[in-house]
Amino acid sequence: MINRILSSAAAAALLAGTALADEVRVYNWSDYIDESLLEKFETETGIELIYDVFDSNEVLETKLLAGGSGYDVVVPSGTFLQRQITAGAFQKLDMSKLTNKDNMWDVINDRLKKYDPEGAYAINYMWGTTGIGVNAGKVKEVLGEDAPVDSLALVLEPSNMEKLSECGVHFLDAPAEIIPATLAYLGEDPDSQDPDVIAKTEPVLTAIAPYVQKFHSSEYINALANGDICVAIGWSGDILQARDRAAEADNGVEIEYYAPKEGALMWFDNMAIPVDAPNPEAAHTFLNFIMDAQNMAAASNYVYYANGNKASQEFLEKDVIGDTAIYPDEATLENLYTTSPYGPKVQRTVTRMWTKIKSGT
Amino acid sequence: MKRATLILVPYLWLLVLFLAPFLIVLKISLSDAALAIPPYTPTLKDGIGALIAELDFENFIFLTEDDLYWKAYLSSLRIAVISTLLTLLVGYPIAYGMARAPDEWRATLMMLVILPFWTSFLIRVYAWMGILSNEGLLNQLLIWLGLINDPLTILNTNTAVYIGIVYTYLPFMILPIYAALDRLDSSLDEAAQDLGCTRMQAFWLVTIPLSRNGIVAGSFLVFIPALGEFVIPSLLGGSGTLMIGKVLWEEFFNNRDWPVASAVAVILLLILVIPIVLFQRNQQKQQEAEQ
């Protein structure tokens, strides 16, 4: 996380000196694109692309709200997008420049309206679910053959977690993902904004927190792939990337992904243009390039996340479009829920509770 | 004229690089959070009058109402003190060895102390993650040697944080102590022994007190950055590692509450300024006494 901050600080410092017209600065999630697409963009358009990465919505939001981030394209998730639109952080997209807009998938566009009601500020890049990644062999070794790998009970029941802590468990360091999941497990509304309902998750999470080796939002990819940990609550595509890295390394580690049967959070990462983007013209060119069916398919084939581009589906590889962990079937899709951003007061309660859960104070 | 210019330069430096940023942070700590760019109100756009009228100490009062903050300050103090002592324990013998080494070796030894700085700090901390993890080099070595059967959990605990801080700040401890020891006349040591001290007594009664300034300077150079350390606890520490740097991060990034984050920073600065001022005063008195 820190190296990203440093690298983008360096980028911002460079920015102060130069403001070339044909240059576009993109700030995207780490491990989230096929890097050959970046070169392709440069050769096709002649625009120089500066590509930086982050691993938490909070880091992105802080940069945007500080103003003068220097980026032309950023990729916030739905709830953050909604709040940042309210704060006036984005400019409206010029649809006439986005000639590939008809490629977009109406199903996803509709769901995105929860966050961007007029569909005026952002286009969907990828979407996915938050679920459970397991090192199948190790988990069965520890919990036996009938380990509840497709249920949140695996990670929210202290008796399971006590045993799993031997082989290592990581949780996303993202209360806005873990709390809704815990609410779903308790049979409450995962999107609840009521502090009293949210408080019900505290004893559940406090009971299992001592068995969590780390709360972190990107280290689990490598940790799962190397066999350092055996379970992670994480983002679907990240866990599938861990699966592939392990398979490539041929180290005997087999990773599986499950969207929990109690319901899984469905999230959307979307591309938007900051209100003070130095080069909005080039930003639109980049957006349109990404909205191209083949380019979008290349990105999804590489990162194992579903995208919001209907036209790209014919170019997707079988193990992407055919994998229900990536493109869920109808039954799973119905079992997915979305969340709304917390208001400032609730946010503070949630952060405080999260610190208490993690550190015991 | 010359004298005035000479004095002006450091004061200007202090004003631009310390006082001005501090005043900005102080101002934000007295503001209220808002969903806007920048995420607090009031700003200069509201006019000076409104600006001053709306500032208050609400955020500082808030800090006293939740035990999280003082627990984090205390926990940071504890981690900083323990790691400073550990660094001293490791650093002093190294500095002593360097100062007593033959002249032709010293340049090389000095080089070896500074050498790690040629690699990025982050890469060095990441390297420790590879060494300390459950499947890491250290555990593999210990298992191979037959010393342990199951891997030790070191990464993501406070132990890893101590290792990281000691490793990272060691040169800052060694260099001032080495400088102090290097200036010591070795005949003092001989004189002490001639007057009946054993080697050990001579070391405790003569060498250590005379290298006091180096020890104090080195300890401050380690303690001050360790107290506000953020990178090492977030990479090597576990979920139980509570440090004020991380709390500050959470206020700033997770709560998007810049005013409370600034209040936390102002108090951290006050905690650091008091010992620094006391230390300076002590040094000054000592110098006066010597004269």
What is the rounded average pLDDT for all residues in chain B?
89
B152-205 tens-digit pLDDT: 888 888 999 999 999 999 999 999 999 999 988 888 888 998 998 898 899 999
Chain A residues touching residue B252 (CB < 8 angstroms) = 62
pTM, full prediction: 0.79
Answer yes or no: are the C-beta atoms of A232 and A223 closer than 8 Å.
yes
Reported ipTM: 0.72
Q: pLDDT tens, B85-116?
A: 999 999 999 999 999 999 999 999 999 999 98
Kindly list the residues from chain B whose CB atom is less than 8 angstroms away from the CB atom of residue A253. none
At residue A309, the 3 state secondary structure works out as strand
Which helix (H) or strand (E) segment holds residue A13: the answer is: helix A2-17
Non-local CB neighbours of A224 within 8 Å, separated by 6+ positions: A133, A135, A170, A232, A239, A242, A246, A253, A255
**Residue A83 touches chain B, beta carbons under 8 Å:** yes
- Residues B75-87 as b/e (b if ≥16 CB within 10 A, e otherwise) read bbbebbebbbebb
Q: Please judge whether B135 and A228 are an interchain contact, meaning their C-beta atoms are less than 8 angstroms apart.
A: yes
Q: Which amino acid is at A46?
A: G
Whether A65 sits inside 8 A of B33 (CB atoms) is: no
Residue with tokens 């509201």: B46
- Report the alpha-carbon distance of residue A124 to residue A312 in Å, rounded: 13
Section B252-256 average pLDDT: 86
Q: How far apart are CA A349 and CA B250, in angstroms?
A: 12
Query: Nearest 10 degrees: CA dihedral of A281, A287, A289, A294?
Result: -170
- Reported as a single tens digit per residue, the pLDDT across B31-49 is 988 888 888 888 877 778 7
Cβ B37–A88 below 8 Å, yes or no? Answer: yes
Of the candidates A263, A226, A268, the residue with the CA atom closest to the CA atom of residue A247 = A226
SS3 A123: strand
Separation CA B162–CA B157 (nearest Å): 9
> Count of CB contacts below 8 A, A vs B?
87
- State residue A13's pLDDT score: 46
The residues with which A135 forms a beta bridge, in sequence order, are A255
Cβ–Cβ gap B37/A67 under 8 Å: yes
| Confidence (pLDDT) at B283 | 73
What pLDDT sits at residue A5? Answer: 45
pLDDT score at B1 = 64
How remote is the C-alpha of A101 from its chain's centroid?
Answer: 23
Q: What pLDDT is recorded for position A21? A: 59
Please choose, from the candidates B124, B208, B218, the residue with its C-alpha nearest in 3D space to the C-alpha of residue B163.
B124
pLDDT of A192: 95
Determine the Cα–Cα distance for residues B129 and A1; give it in Å rounded to an integer: 14
Q: What is the pLDDT of residues A266-313, one digit of tens each?
A: 999 999 999 999 999 999 999 999 999 999 999 999 999 999 999 999
Q: Is A356 on the interface with B (CB under 8 A)?
A: yes
Nearest chain B CA: its distance from A342 CA (Å): 10
Say if A227 is an interface residue toward chain B (CB within 8 Å).
yes
Residue B287 has pLDDT above 80, yes or no: no
User: Which chain A residue has its CA at the smallest distance from B230's CA?
Assistant: A2
Name the residue among B37, B71, B250 with its Cβ closest to that of A351: B250
Option in B39, B68, B156 nearest A361 (CB): B68
Contacts of A62 in chain B (CB under 8 A): 252-253, 256
Which of A231, A243, A226 is closest to A303 using CA atoms? Answer: A243
Q: Is A347 on the interface with B (CB under 8 A)?
A: yes
pLDDT of residue A332: 85
For the stretch B92-111, what's the b/e string if a residue is b when 16 or more beta carbons lie within 10 angstroms of its beta carbon? bebbbebbeeeeeeeeebbe
What pLDDT score was predicted for residue B163? 96
User: Which of chain A's residues have a Cβ under 8 Å away from the Cβ of B230?
Assistant: 2
Mutate to test the interface with A, among B63, B157, B234, B239 (most CBs of A within 10 A): B239
> Cβ of A87 under 8 Å from any chain B Cβ?
yes
CB contact under 8 A, B239 and A65: no
* Residues of chain A positioned with their CB less than 8 A from the CB of B124: none
Whole-angstrom distance, CA of residue A310 vs CA of residue A104: 5
- Token readout for B40 is 């607090």
Radius of gyration of chain A (CA): 20
Instruction: Provide, as residue numbers in chain A, all residues whose Cβ is less than 8 Å from the Cβ of B37.
Output: 64-67, 87-89, 275
Which portions of chain A are predicted below pLDDT 70? 1-21, 361
User: Of chain A residues 176-215, which have a CB less than 8 A from chain B?
Assistant: 209, 212-215
Of A180, A199, A198, give the one whose Cα is nearest residue A190.
A180
**Spatial separation of the C-alpha atoms in residues A189 and A178, rounded to whole Å:** 13
Nearest CA-CA distance, residue A331 and chain B, Å: 34
- 3-class DSSP assignment, residue A145: coil
